[in-house]
Amino acid sequence: MPHWLNLMIESLPSLLWACLVFTVPLTLLSFVFGLSLGLVAAITRLFAPRPLGALVRFYVWIIRGTPLLVQLFLIFYGLPSVGIVIDAFPAALIGFTLNIGAYTSEIIRAVLLAVPKGQWEAAYSVGMTWPQAMRRTILPQAARIAVPPLSNTFISLVKDTSLAAAITVPELFRAGQRIVATSYEPLILYVEVALIYLVVSSVLSSLQGQVEKRLSRYGGSIEEAS
Amino acid sequence: MIALDNIEKRFGDNLVLKGVSVEVTEAQVTALIGASGSGKSTLLRCVNLLELPQAGRVRIDDTEIRFVPGGKVDRTTMLALRRKTGMVFQNFQLFPHRTVVENVMEALVTVLKWPRDRARARAMELLDKVGMTFKAEAWPSSLSGGQQQRVAIARALAPAPLVLLCDEPTSALDPQLAIEVVEVLAQLAREGTTMLIATHDLRLAARIASNVVYLDGGKVVEAGLSQQVFGAPLDDRTRQFVSTLTGGGVAKDAG
């Protein structure tokens, strides 16, 4: 067996372990929390009184205008100076959640606006309240349009979690770095790490296709049909 | 049973309704007719408060809301009033993510909290009434315009509203498809459904309305029994408008 293959196989278990225990949970948790935050932010910006909307705009402006890596450093290395000490994993989780919240709020805002106004009126006309119309009529239709852009964000997130290595979270990339430090084989190890990321994002992409298909089962929009 | 009193509605600087009063008699069909921009659709949308008037009074049954400029509207009363109405839209507005039968069930399940099987049974009855049971499990996008509008009528009737509001129900349909919708509305009229229909389709109005209100420039020009308004209109403007039905300009009422 060639040396490179041997090394790859030997290091695979610890890389997969890091992926399974840190990368995947970090991705899933920050996406779920971030998406919820993004939904609240989008609805606030669209429907809440002005001052609240301005607050959301400020949040989105800050997050989108500064590097994610800097945000992570601020939370993990910066905040202790003012007495707020957060462990590496929760610090990363907070950073990614804030990040995803900002980006998805813009997506959600756009797709909510993309549902025709007539659908609100139809929902109201059968007696629904605002929350009922939102939950039963607007969100399901918006969700369908949101799948491709949200999947994009999700797949980016999988890869972005490698930044958590910089604040000591022992996720996939950092696990690779550690092995490099003892084996002195950066090319082999980083190719292996890249391949694992590739496999994970490919699996997620195919999941996206399935979700999209499921949400699109009702065919074209009404306008197209008539 | 339904009374609109001195309704005023403006969009920005544009005063669309200039103090309109209309009464709708129970178990009868009232048609709001008039040219585009006469305010008939806006008036109809003031009944279920999709548009909020700046001034005037809307009463349905024993629920009433008075509007004063700059005043706040009580949400509970607004919802109570709206739930006494059902509405049919020009472009149908079925819920595209729900099947035909689910569209009709939606208000029963979500608003009235009926159990699903009871809601489904009621929905199937209504679909039968509009001749659409054979498409109960289809998606709205697979239906013709006329079929969509018939489902929309069933959806509007599901919570047993006191009045069915129809906003240009046939205007988005070509003549053949409009016929099937007119048939359904005529049947409902015979059964004593109270309806208020905004339309510029005079054939539809003449066929099913017993009362007609002619609006022009945001005001009621003439109101009365259908035969009288169409047969012997008192006002010159009305006469000119209904002449498209009685002779001369047949081609004009195609839209």
The whole-number average pLDDT for the span A130-159 is 93
pLDDT, tens digit, 9 for 90 and up, residues B177-234 = 899 999 999 999 999 999 999 998 888 899 899 999 999 999 999 999 998 998 888 8
> How do strand B14-24 and strand B2-11 relate by DSSP bridges?
antiparallel
- Residue in chain B closest to A140 (alpha carbons) equals B97
Interface test with B, best of A119, A128, A214, A222 (most B CBs within 10 A): A222
Q: In sequence order, which ranges of chain A are alpha helices (DSSP H)?
A: 3-18, 24-47, 50-65, 68-73, 88-114, 117-125, 130-133, 139-160, 172-183, 186-215, 222-225
The answer to whether B136 and B67 are in contact (CB under 8 A) is: no
A125/B172 CB distance under 8 A: no
pLDDT in the model for residue A222: 42
Q: Does A125 touch chain B (CB under 8 A)?
A: yes
B89/A126 CB distance under 8 A: no
pLDDT exceeds cutoff 80 at B255 = no
The answer to whether B34 and B216 are in contact (CB under 8 A) is: yes
Q: Of the candidates A132, A136, A222, which has its C-beta nearest B141's C-beta?
A: A222
pLDDT in the model for residue B198: 95
- Choose from A144-153, A197-206, B86-95 the range with maximum mean pLDDT: B86-95
CA distance A3 to A152: 37
pLDDT exceeds cutoff 60 at A224 = no
Q: Does A12 touch chain B (CB under 8 A)?
A: no
The residue type found at A23 is: T
pLDDT in the model for residue A223: 42
Contacting residues for A15 by C-beta, under 8 A, at least 6 apart: A172, A175, A176, A179, A192, A193, A196
At CA B95, angle to CA B89 and CA B162, rounded to 5? 50
Least confident of A119-133, B62-76, B124-138: B62-76
pLDDT, tens digit, 9 for 90 and up, residues A2-27 = 999 999 999 999 999 999 999 999 99
pLDDT in the model for residue B37: 86
Contacting residues for A50 by C-beta, under 8 A, at least 6 apart: none
Q: Which two tokens stand for residue B35?
A: 């040219």
Q: Does A1 touch chain B (CB under 8 A)?
A: no
User: How does the average pLDDT of chain B come out, rounded?
Assistant: 91
Distances (CA, A) of A20 to A28, A110, B149: 11, 33, 52
Packing angle of the helix pair A88-114, A50-65 (nearest 10 deg)? 120
Radius of gyration of chain B (CA): 18
The answer to whether A222 and B141 are in contact (CB under 8 A) is: yes
pLDDT, tens digit, 9 for 90 and up, residues A181-206 = 999 999 999 999 999 999 999 998 88
pLDDT, tens digit, 9 for 90 and up, residues A47-76 = 999 899 999 999 999 999 999 999 999 999
Confidence of residue B249 (pLDDT cuts 50, 70, 90): very low
- Residue in chain B closest to A215 (alpha carbons) equals B97
- Model's pTM, two decimal places? 0.88
pLDDT exceeds cutoff 70 at B253 = no
On the 0-12 / 13-18 / 19+ scale of CB atoms within 10 A, B23 is middle
Please report residues of A whose CB lies closer than 8 A to that of B140. Answer: 218, 222, 225
Confidence of residue A226 (pLDDT cuts 50, 70, 90): very low
Q: Of the candidates A118, A124, A141, which has its C-beta nearest B97's C-beta?
A: A141
A125/B156 CB distance under 8 A: yes
- Residue in chain A closest to B100 (alpha carbons) equals A218
Residue with tokens 């049974």: B121
Residue with tokens 């103090």: B19
Residue with tokens 């806006």: B42
B148/A132 CB distance under 8 A: no
SS (H, E, C) chain B: CEEEEEEEEEECCEEEEEEEEEEECCCCEEEEECCCCCCHHHHHHHHCCCCCCCEEEEEECCEEEEECCCCCCCHHHHHHHHCCEEEECCCCCCCCCCCHHHHHHHHHHHHCCCCHHHHHHHHHHHHHHCCCHHHCCCCHHHCCHHHHHHHHHHHHHCCCCCEEEEECCCCCCCHHHHHHHHHHHHHHHHCCCCEEEEECCHHHHHHHCCEEEEEECCEEEEEEEHHHHHHCCCCHHHHHHHHHHHCCCHHHHHC
> Of A156, A147, A146, A153, which is closest to residue A114 (Cα–Cα)?
A146
Q: Of the candidates B83, B89, B91, which has its C-beta nearest A127's C-beta?
A: B83
A125/B48 CB distance under 8 A: yes
